[in-house]
């Protein structure tokens, strides 16, 4: 079950990232315009050019496709925080001194030679 959900979320994110969802939504608007033009043609029996009726002001979904995900002021703060975290993580922590034997005794149990 987790794999199915993961796969579906992966497909959804890929469709948003590639612009597939925006393209499908635009095609839906074009289909609505074509249906309206066909209905106007049946009524008047003369070709009537139908103006493009859909815009970001009329359709909240179209407006959401073109809004920024994050505000510019917040982006600068996040970048500065990332630089600060990188700098702090590079600071060396004091380590306890460890005795490193200069030589090991060859006889008996291991012991540090003085």
pLDDT tens figures, 81-97: 777 777 667 666 656 66
Query: Hey, which residues does 112 pair with through a beta bridge?
Result: 104
Q: Flag residues of the chain having pLDDT under 70.
A: 46-52, 55, 70-71, 87-88, 90-114
Query: Residue 105, by phi and psi: left (phi above 0), alpha (psi -120 to 50) or beta?
Result: beta
Distance (Å, rounded) from C-alpha 57 to C-alpha 77?
A: 31
């Amino acid at each position: 079950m987790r794999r199915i959900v993961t796969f579906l979320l992966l497909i959804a994110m890929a469709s948003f990232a590639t612009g597939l969802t925006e393209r499908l939504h635009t095609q839906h608007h074009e289909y609505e315009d074509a249906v309206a033009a066909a209905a106007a043609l049946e009524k008047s029996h003369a070709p009537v050019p139908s103006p493009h009726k859909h815009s970001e002001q009329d359709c909240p979904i179209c407006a959401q496709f073109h809004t920024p995900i994050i505000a510019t002021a917040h982006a600068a703060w996040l970048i500065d925080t990332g630089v600060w975290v990188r700098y702090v993580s590079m600071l060396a922590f004091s380590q306890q001194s460890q005795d490193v034997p200069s030589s090991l005794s060859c006889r008996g149990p291991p012991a540090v030679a003085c």
